[in-house]
Every structure is written in C-alpha cells, then in structure tokens.
Chains A and B, each alone.
Chain A
C-alpha cells in the first residue's frame, strides 16, 4: 500500500483563492518532505524542501510567499498555493524519506490543481 498520501487528488478553484494540499507519511516519520511541481508533458521540478519544525527551503525562482509550506508534525506537510492564478495550474507531488537500503524515495499520488 501507499506510504505517502496526498489530499486532495483533484482540486478546482477560482482565481484569487487559496488552496491547501496535504502530504502525509502513513507509517513512518518524515523529518523532511519534498514538494515537486509538474506541468503537462514536463518533468518534475523541485519546488521546496519541507523541514519539520523549521522553515522550508525553496528552490531558486519559487516564491515562498506564494507557496506556503508548513511541516508542523513528523507525518504531515502542507503546501498552500495563495492567491492562485491559472498559471499555477499544475500537478503537485510530494515525496518523503529516503530508504537507504533500497534507495527508494516514496512519492505521493499527486494533486492536480486547476485554477479557473
């Protein structure tokens, strides 16, 4: 079964509203989670690294005031897209942990955001 779960899977919102996406580790604690964005027919691009109990680290070109990340517990990180606009429409995917035995980084199922 899935070890990282995202919610919601799909969200449609009006331009100017804020949307929150949750990423949960189901059976392990994750001090670090990662948020990726994937535009249609493109690769995954890392947006930010979410650190439990401290500020997120954003990649160059990602607006931290627009994409608010909160990692308040060891099993939950949230990404809030504030004042969403149509160009924010994308597939947002989180990942957690790094299994140093198998090398697997577990990904969530993804959340598709459509801003009208």
Chain B
C-alpha cells in the first residue's frame, strides 16, 4: 500500500531543543493528521489539519498543512523527555475514513 514519505527517519536531540519533521505525498489529501505512538501502544492523535495553508498549535506542538495539499510539517518546541516516541503523519480525504500513514520519525532525547 501507499506510504507517505516522512523525514527525518530518526532524530537524536537534547532536552530543550526544538524539533521539526515533515511529510510529503505524491497525491493530494484534504486532511492531514499527526500521531504519536509509544512502544506497544496504538497511535494517539496530536493535531488535525483540514485546510490548505492552515497552521495549528497544540501546546508546544505546531503543525502546518502545506498549500499544495501534498505536504505537512510538525514542530515541537522545547522538547521534554516525554516527547520521546515515534511520530507519524497521516493523510486522509474527508468522508473516507481510511488513513495513509507516513513512514514515521523516531525521536530520542539524549540525556
């Protein structure tokens, strides 16, 4: 099945640093979602974006829906230990509940 290209694949940062990751697609989506997955658990929604160009924040997280509708990015400011995990982007088209997931970005915080 299709997967969205997500980069970087892995990130090793120090606590307090800002993080940026992005997701690109060869096809258009009218909804972009960002999830975080902790080991052995299902994904948890962080931010949902519904409009091209939209910039949405959720606490220290900010995500943008690319104007072309083929990309999105997620920023995390002032990272903390509980930010560790795998972040997935997902694209969907409203009215169709099927999600296409990105390849994931594994975030590790170095002590």
Residues of A within 8 A of B (CB): 4, 6, 32, 34, 41-46, 49, 59-61, 91, 93, 95, 97-98, 100, 102-105, 107-110, 112
The answer to whether A34 touches B103 (Cβ under 8 A) is no
Q: Are A44's CB and B43's CB within 8 A?
A: yes
Instruction: For residue A15, give the distance in angstroms from its CB to the closest CB of chain B.
Output: 23
- Chain A positions within 8 Å of B100 at CB level: 46
CA distance A107 to B101 in the complex (A): 13
Nearest Cβ on chain B to A11's Cβ, whole angstroms:
13
Residue contact A45 to B42, C-beta cutoff 8 Å: no
A-B contact pairs, 8 of them (CB 8 A): A4-B42, A44-B99, A44-B101, A59-B1, A93-B43, A103-B48, A105-B33, A107-B42
Q: Which 3 A-B pairs rank lowest in CB-CB distance, beginning with the nearest? A: A103-B48, A107-B42, A98-B97
Q: Is A107 within 8 A of B43, CB to CB?
A: yes
Q: Which positions 42-99 of chain B face chain A at CB distance < 8 Å?
A: 42-45, 48, 50, 88, 94, 97-99
- A101 shortest CB reach to chain B, Å: 10
* Interface SS of chain A: loop
Q: Which residues of B contact A (CB under 8 A)?
A: 1, 3, 31, 33, 40-45, 48, 50, 88, 94, 97-104, 106
- Are A45 and B48 touching (Cβ within 8 A)? no
Tell me whether B101 and A43 are in contact (CB under 8 A).
Answer: yes
Known: A34-B97, A112-B40. 5 other contacts (CB 8 A): A4-B42, A41-B106, A43-B88, A93-B43, A107-B44
**B residues in contact with A44, CB < 8 Å:** 43, 88, 99, 101
* Chain A hits for B31, CB < 8 A: 103
- Known contacts: A103-B33, A103-B48, A103-B50. The answer to whether A110 contacts B40 by CB under 8 A is yes
From the candidates A41, A43, A104, name the one contacting B3 in the complex (CB within 8 A). Answer: A43
